[in-house]
Structure 1
Amino acid sequence: MVLLISILVTFTTGLKAQQPVVLNVIDSLTIRPVHPPVFEGITTDTTHLLLSDWPVTLVKYSYGEPKINFIAIHDDEDTGVKAAFEYIRFSGGSIIDCQYGGIRNFKFMYNNEEFQTDPNSIYTPAGIARGLEKYNWAAPEVVNMLANTAKEILKLYNPETPPYIFTLHNNGDGGFGIHDYLKGYPLENFADSLYINFEMDADDLILVTDVNLFNRLKKENVNVVLQSNNAPDDGSLSYYAMQQRIPYVNVEVQHGHLYEHLRLIEIAAKALEETILPL
């Protein structure tokens, strides 16, 4: 059975009521998986969102015991998805894969205007506005649509059970790395502390919001960043998690570094189980 839900969002600006924004959700629809290699026994649970004229599909792949749960936000970052499949094939768990056309940004039309934003900037009101203003302006109707999209993603992931958020990201060669968090570099205000293994590729790293996780990961001699409690509000899942006091892990590697992504996932998952999950 397919359940179609229309979420009606109304808002006002001053005294003038605006047109309602409708976000359509189709829950529990069976579809053919998109990302190989899907293996026998894996199950899917799919939610379809409509962001104005832009379809966003959330596919939750699950296998075995419900252990570590991952989420991949950007649809152009498939190395993390493939690494997660390998992890859950042997250890069990799940991953939510956000699918919206194989590109980085949400890009859609509303009232004959094009809007776009990074889907990792929609988890706080300030982040939504800043993300939209990089490309156009923060139209109130569009702000509401993105806020509801974030709510649906969080509802499906459910970071209360288990009590953490574990994301997977990829980057380009030399385009982003742990050095960006050093003093004098673009992301210095986002970092409280760093541990750098200079024998690793600088593009491969782990970012966390919990100091116990950070200290545990340092013992593994891997690149790791502890996010600052005073980090700017960029609307990211890491900022949302910090704001909500939810432990957050991001394992990020260069595109194509599949085995390194899997290695860091295994290290981070073990650290998470030892420091957060027993509490």
Structure 2
Amino acid sequence: MPDIDPMASALDFYLFHMKRFREGRSLSQEALGAKVDYTGKFIGLVETKRRRPNMKLSTAMDELFQIPKFFEAMLPRIAEEAGLPPGFWEYVEEEARASQIRIYGQFVIPGVLQTPEYAREVMRAGKKQEHLEELVQTRMGRKEIFDREDPPNVIVALEEGVLRKVAGSREITRAQLEQLLKYCNEPNFAIYVLGHSAQVFPEGSFTVLSFETDPDMGYEESVGGRGRLIEPGPQVTEFAVGFELIREKALPAAESEALIREVLETM
């Protein structure tokens, strides 16, 4: 079990008091999980730094322990220390409950589809090693949405150049392309490639999140992997329409898969 020093970091402060409040109520990890709608295993993973605390857990513990905004207020600081955008946790919460995710990737394979090795190379620049590993772990944790009983439908549109750009090494990039091919064969995935000659020119990468009953939300990426969550409104509608235009210009799914395989075999 890793050492927890509440003076060392915002994350350690969070975990120290999480355990303190839990034990102060004589709650096991399983018992706490039942009260905040998580499994005991998840609580254990958070307390041992193998999963990141999130907004849902934080607000639930604030309510349970009657300490308004205590754990919730720590999340921006934890994100800042890890080099994550301030609004990242909000986006992850919305991503986790989406029934459909539409992603346009202009420069790299989208984060939620990345292998750990590819993600590490993409995020390496300017990061301390310990922060880099935290970022990779957080990104990999987002894949849990694909393991739930009702995983979201995921529709991805990628620029052809994304497939051909080497991240770190050809071996790492090949493994990433192999991962993409596996996603191509999942029933809830559709991946389209926008060829070099396609006459459509989006200004940047973006994501549209759709829900069973709530209106769509968007996420716009910017330089350095940062981005912002966009509330329902005209800009999200613009993203949704833009995504359909991109998909119309892209290769059909079967041809896109064949192109991914061709790039993999020639790399």
Which is strand-richer, 1 or 2?
1
Q: Give the TM-score normalised by structure 2.
A: 0.35
Q: TM-score, normalised by structure 1?
A: 0.34
Larger radius of gyration: 2
